[in-house]
Chains A and B, each alone.
Chain A
Amino acid sequence: MLHTVNKSPFERNTLQSCLRLAQKGSAVLLIEDGVYGALSGTAHAGEIADRMDDFSFYVLGPDIAARGLGESPLIEGVQVVDYGGFVDLVAEHEVTNAWL
């Protein structure tokens, strides 16, 4: 299953709930304000860094760039994708769960 998260972990518990209820082996794509969760050195970075063995993490590059974070370091192991990569992820997984 592919999970998308579009809320900042500083404002909502969407990322936490996604990671609590997603099965191991799932893909998690951070989009829109969800991209703040992919940054290293933040108070929430551990939520993803600690689960690197359980999930594949992706972040949407255009949403990173739009927020002035293009040069900011990401949590190690998080893969940046463009819109084409987003489409590929959806196509690769039978089910997509968009957490709001």
Chain B
Amino acid sequence: MSDEMGYQGEVVKRFMYVNRKAPYGTIYALENLETVLIAAAFDQDVSVVFVDDGVYQLKKGQDTKGIGMKNFSPTFRALDDYDVEKLYVEKESLEARGLTAEELVVPVEVVSTEELREIMAQQDVVLSC
């Protein structure tokens, strides 16, 4: 456990949010992003991970006008303002979908499966969806 003090003197925990689902087919991606913002508002040590179809959440050029849903991809660019700076994308997931980091809406750290496994093992709380 990390013993740094944060919001109102509470202990800061390492929270990892793991996104594995594409953005608009289900509500998971949007809901997970909301909870990331909540954790950040409470000054927690937040990491956000994108694996499997979760990498599609970050694809540039999303235009949802035709489907009547909110395009929430610009919100990822606001994470920096909440001091959420640890965004990890699994290299294997990205490459399997023919994507590169340049095609994503925010700068991310592209990590191997092995590196991601290590980072995940260091967390106090892991929330996957």
Contact = CB atoms under 8 A, between A and B. Distances in A.
Interface of A: 1, 13-14, 17, 20-23, 94-100
Given A13-B52, A100-B28, A21 B120 contact: yes
8 contacts: A1-B120, A14-B20, A21-B116, A23-B118, A95-B124, A96-B126, A97-B18, A98-B128
A21 B113 contact: yes
Interface of B: 18, 20, 28, 51-52, 113, 116-118, 120-121, 123-129
A21 B50 CA distance: 12
Given A22-B117, A100-B28, A95 B126 contact: yes
Contacts of A21: 51, 113, 116-117, 120
Contacts of A99: 20, 128
Contact of A95 (B20, B113, B118, B125): B125
B125 A20 contact: no
Contacts of A17: 20, 51-52
